[in-house]
A and B are shown apart, each in its own frame.
Chain A
Amino acid sequence: MAQLTPELSANIANDIYLITNQNTRKLFFDLYADQFAFKDDANLQGKTGAFILLKKEQSLGLAATGIKQRKGEALIALKGTSNGYDGLTDLNAGLKQFNTGGFVHQGFYYAFQSFLPELDQFLANLPPDIHTVHCVGHSLGGALATLAADYLKAKSGCAVNLYTFGSPRVGLSLFSEGALRRLGEKNIFRVYHRTDPVPMVPTWPFIHVPNGGLGDLLLNSSVALNPIEYHKMENYIGSLSGSEIKHNWELVRKKRPPAPITRSIESWLKSDGPLSLTLNTAWVAAEAVMWVLKKVVELTGIALVVGGGTAFTLLDQMAIFLKKAYDFGKKASYWVTRLLVRLGKLIGITVSESVNITAALIRAIFIRMHSAVSELVMRAGRNVEH
């Protein structure tokens, strides 16, 4: 099946930033002119192809059909915007039910709705021979590409491939699981550096598409650079620039650095060693939260039902869920307690094994954890040179 290579998808995610200015937009068109048809006056009803600028006044991205060796394919490329980051760490930011079902962050939802009429127009005029649509984006553009890919998969009969670089989390579990099921994990290429702070926000209950598995493409990042440098497309291109890896997603998967496997997360939870909050430990803590939530569902059969309102109210629901799990039995209460002990250690709260765990305590620890991680991520952004 048609796929964009690691090199090509990363270059498109980088070059799409050129579409804002009309002269540099022409550079984008010229460079990709032998693969995609870009004509402002293209007849959208025609058989030769369709092209459209998404959210024209702000140039959020473009949609175009393939030509020559890309005949039968289409491209949706989206770029980030300069505003919208602050909302990622705001627990009171609202949630919106996305078109395909499931809740997503309202900032992404509104940005997506702003170009949805153009996307629908593109879809309605897609030539019948189009079999595959590639959705590409970096940073907030990655979040929008995720929404676009899920929407297009639900609306069209086409295969849809999703390629994101340093994307933040987009939605809650129902959205993430639905999008993963609809798109299929082999068609998702979610690329991120371990120390890129942006994919760490918004914090749980937002969940990546996918979180683990074939489409979760973690790249190593050394400690030599400021973490936010690893968010830049230049460094994503650098990490994928090896002579063989740039052509082969399988090699990108194989390059995955050692990550906390189940056993090491268990060890981390059981450990009583000292902890300080860094981007790395925040990452392990997020994995541990996911692990414990899955574990207690397995042990108790209690379903975590989330919905409505804001992330703030979701933390309430999660606190009640964990409290129920804690009360259910010894095994579940053990893992809930260990999670709270370890998260408490990260944020300077001592949680004794003998303390009476209440929903209010759980909620307080999660809110403090969210604030601490958000502050850490913001600090990484502030310290950057440019």
Chain B
Amino acid sequence: MSNLNPLKACTFSEMQISLFFDGKPATGAKITRTIEWRKEHVDEFTADGNGQVTLPAEFENYYLKFFPMEFVSAQFLTVQYEGKEYEIWNYAKRKTELNSEMDGEPLKLSCELTSESITTRAFGSILGTRCTLPQES
């Protein structure tokens, strides 16, 4: 196995999220994050009094094979707020670098839970979200 090389792949870049419900901060909203590349990783976070929460970057070790497969890290975020669940982020990360989506900057999202989710081509992949990136809003 000497020709296999351990490396780190970023399966989720850091994400700063501001959550709103009808324009007001979604205080205390619970966020469930599911990441799946080689194995599934699930964790939970809670928004602060301003409806803000930061999800840290996630990495996974892997061993380099002769021909690397196309990298696909499936990311799925749901928010539980006032008894209802909202899917806010469904994305397939296709590059192993940290912050590959925004040229090295962390992702900053603003999410209005009552808005519609839209599927679009983004960051060299496909993104389904009801959030907006600041430069888009």
Chain A residues near B (Cβ < 8 Å) = 11, 14-15, 17-18, 20-21, 23-24, 26-28, 30-31, 79-82, 85-86, 138-139, 198, 228, 231-234, 237, 378, 381-382, 384-386
Contacts and interface: CB of A to CB of B under 8 A. Distances in A.
8 contacts: A18-B92, A21-B72, A23-B34, A27-B91, A27-B127, A80-B70, A81-B69, A384-B64
B71 interface: yes
Interface string B61-103: 0001111111110101000000000000011101111000000
Interface of B: 3, 5, 7, 9, 34, 36, 64-72, 74, 76, 90-92, 94-97, 119-121, 124-128
Nearest to B117: A30
Contact of A21 (B7, B36, B66, B71): B36
Nearest to B124: A234
Contact of B128 (A27, A79, A233, A381): A27
A236 B96 CA distance: 18
Contacts of B67: 85, 139, 198, 228, 231, 381
Contact of B5 (A18, A27, A382): A382
Contacts of B124: 234, 237
Given A23-B76, A80-B70, A234-B124, A382 B64 contact: yes
Nearest to A141: B70
B90 A17 contact: no
Contacts of A385: 7
Contact of A15 (B34, B96, B126): B126
Interface of A (DSSP majority class): helix
B9 A386 contact: yes
B65 A30 contact: no
Contacts of A382: 3, 5, 64, 66
A385 B92 CA distance: 20
Contacts of B126: 15, 18, 24, 27-28, 30-31
A229 to B, nearest CB: 10
A176 B125 CA distance: 33
A31 B76 contact: no
Contact of A24 (B90, B96, B97): B90
Contacts of B9: 386
Nearest to A89: B66
Nearest to A21: B74
B119 A30 contact: yes
B64 A82 contact: no
B66 A378 contact: yes
B76 A82 contact: no
A215 to B, nearest CB: 24
A292 to B, nearest CB: 30
A81 B69 CA distance: 7
B72 A18 contact: yes
The 9 A-B pairs of least Cβ separation, nearest first, read A21-B74, A30-B119, A27-B126, A386-B96, A381-B66, A24-B92, A85-B67, A381-B67, A24-B74
A139 B36 CA distance: 23
Nearest to A15: B126
Contacts of A26: 90, 128
Contact of A27 (B34, B90, B95): B90
